[in-house]
Chain A
Amino acid sequence: MSEPTSVMTRERASVTVREPAPVATPRRTGRAPGKPLFWVYVLLILGSAVMVFPFIWEVLTSLKTLSGASSVPPQIIPDPFTTRAYTKVFDTLPFWNLLGNSILLTVIRTLGQVLLCTMAGYGFARFHFRGKNVLFIAFLAVLMVPGQLFLLPQYEIIREMGLLGTIPGIALPGLFSVFGTFLLRQFFQTLPMELEEAARLDGANEWQIFWRVMLPLAKPGIIALTLLTALWSWNDFLWPLVVSGNVNSMPLSVGLSLLTDLRLRDDALLMAGALLSSLPMIAVFLVLQRQFIQGIAFTGTKG
């Protein structure tokens, strides 16, 4: 939220989230606007309740005792309140280890992808060479292919590199992204050429133009890609499930699924684990909501 306001307004101008024009309101007063708006509130509040109820139940259950979590009729308010389930998460799972892995994987993947995709997107938008369009179309075709088709060969590559069960092995394919390259290419294409030419006349080389002139201008696109990559990486399941194999390299998503294998069904424990694993990304979202929402809007309008 401490982002410079100029960036905010530029982002808002380019996509999403129109705040209502203040001029429009007085014009409507003749038609008793209160009544339709009342129903809008009713519907939205009902809808929000459906969206939020599972989270509330998750929190309440996580604070119940083993028997309290599955009692009939249900306990609504935990009786007694206990943090037993949270303590047990740390006893049952190597939680700090899993959290560290998730953070490390997310950071590596996000930094790598943003840097590589920004460079490649810029390359595709601003340079010309033989075969460029063929290559670009080949990459675009990847977007249509379900991930499972390349999952097996990716697994073979990681295995042959001896990286199964390691953090670099899980992170490696995720450093590259067709989607990210495409998103940033779209972005760089909209930036005016004059800036680039002016910088060239001032004696800047291509890298300086990219780094000093173009990159700051592409900030909204870069923020969008950063947040989306971080989100997808944090929540990713199938690939780390297949590659990690051991607790030492597992991210939280896979580690959390281990709890379901336990013979003893402890719902309070499951809810505490689910909450602790999702909370970091939810916290990031609550702080950066506007950027998150604009990132999603980009994928719909530009991607």
Chain B
Amino acid sequence: MTRQLRGRNAAPRRSAAQLSRGRAWWALLFIGPAGLGLVVFYLWPIIRGIYLSFQDVGPFGGETFVGIDNFVEVFSEPDLGRALLNTLLYAVICLIGIPVAMIVAVLINTKGLKGRSLFRVLFFLPVVTMPVAVALVWRLLLNVDYGVLNLSLRAIGLPGVAWLSTPVVNMVVIAIVGIWMGLGTQIIIFTAGLQGIPDTLIEAAELDGAGPVRRFVSVIVPLLSPTTFLLSVLSVIASMQVFDLIFLMIDPNNPAQSQSQSLVSLFYTRGFLQHDLGAAAAIACVLLAIILVLSAIQFRLQRRWVHYE
């Protein structure tokens, strides 16, 4: 942008055009290698993925056009409905992580706090931990018979819960683990947002007699709303694609396994365990459609609650 304007102001148009023509080869050198890879491994596969969703792919690769049969097949199975509900439930619960992250970010950035960087590291630790390892640790903590959570519940006289083998309950629990795992990232992004809030605004509120809670609700929350919006869009997109945690925390021996699929675990089952590529591609297309619709809804709703200065 600046370059164009400057080029036009600084010199007559023709010489600017000549300059850019001489540099076109360089553009090819710079963009070419990555550009080619992105086209081959990302752009083309998207087109091919959509194409595949309308094909029946034989076990040895033969493809026949079947129209929307894959979609009809996928939609007519109870699995999809369940996976869809599970995934939406997961996504909704994950949104609770955003206000939690906001509160922690404000707490960590309190003036005069000591040990700030230690707190930041502790909250960020799960972000850099392998999701497979996270899943294993939480499986142990949530074990029905000897998991710490149930042992604590029993110690205070409450019955234990079969956290991971009760449908619906397990989605809620795994979503909470998901929140735990991603909280650090959200805290950091909120911290960056907090830095955009001018001190003067908070000091003015303070002079008007607003206590910490009042300042948080009336000044910080509205001013952070663009960050909250960004994080809620990212959170929904990411949680629609949840796979690792569900795949690893609910293993094939789990009695609730068939009722505890997410859209992506269903995609994995269809595509790589049952080798039904057409159906898997159809699921991926459904996922794309859902993400686009949910993002569009969020962008529409943002007018109601997001304040830009």
Contacts and interface: CB of A to CB of B under 8 A. Distances in A.
Interface of A: 15-21, 24-25, 28, 33, 36-37, 40-41, 43-44, 47-48, 50-52, 54-55, 57-58, 61, 70-74, 116-117, 119-120, 122-124, 126-129, 132, 135, 138-139, 141-142, 144-154, 156-157, 172-173, 175-178, 181, 189, 193, 206-207, 210, 231, 234-235, 237-238, 242, 252-254, 256-257, 259-261, 267, 270-271, 273-275, 277-278, 281-282, 284-286, 289, 292-293, 296-297, 299-301
Contacts of A242: 268, 272
B241 A51 contact: no
Contacts, number: 313
Interface of B: 1-4, 6, 20, 23-24, 26-31, 33-35, 37-38, 40-46, 48-50, 52, 104, 107-113, 116-117, 119-134, 136-138, 140-141, 143, 145-146, 148, 151, 180, 183-185, 188-189, 191-195, 199, 212, 227, 230-231, 237, 240-241, 243-244, 248, 251, 264, 267-268, 271-272, 277, 280-281, 283-285, 287-288, 291-292, 295
A170 B117 CA distance: 36
Given A16-B192, A128-B20, A144-B291, A237 B131 contact: yes
Contact of B243 (A40, A71, A123, A237): A237
A297 B191 contact: yes
Contact of A153 (B48, B109, B112): B48
Contacts of B40: 157
A193 B110 CA distance: 39
A99 to B, nearest CB: 12
Contacts of A122: 30
Contact of A274 (B111, B132, B292): B132
A273 B139 CA distance: 14
B133 A256 contact: yes
B132 A146 contact: no
Contact of A152 (B109, B138, B281): B281
Given A142-B38, A181-B38, A296-B188, A278 B284 contact: no
Contact of B38 (A176, A207, A297): A176
A70 B27 contact: no
Given A120-B34, A178-B42, A51 B130 contact: no
What secondary structure prevails in chain B residues at the interface with A?
Answer: helix
B61 to A, nearest CB: 9
B31 A120 contact: yes
A206 B25 CA distance: 10
B181 to A, nearest CB: 10
B34 A44 contact: no
Contacts of A270: 136, 140
B291 A260 contact: no
A64 to B, nearest CB: 11
14 contacts: A51-B122, A54-B138, A61-B140, A116-B33, A116-B37, A120-B34, A138-B43, A139-B38, A139-B43, A151-B49, A157-B40, A256-B132, A289-B124, A292-B128
Contact of B241 (A71, A146, A278, A284): A146
A275 B237 CA distance: 29
A21 B199 contact: yes
Nearest to B31: A123
Contacts of B48: 152-153, 156
Contact of A70 (B46, B124, B145, B284): B145
Nearest to A74: B151
B132 A176 contact: no
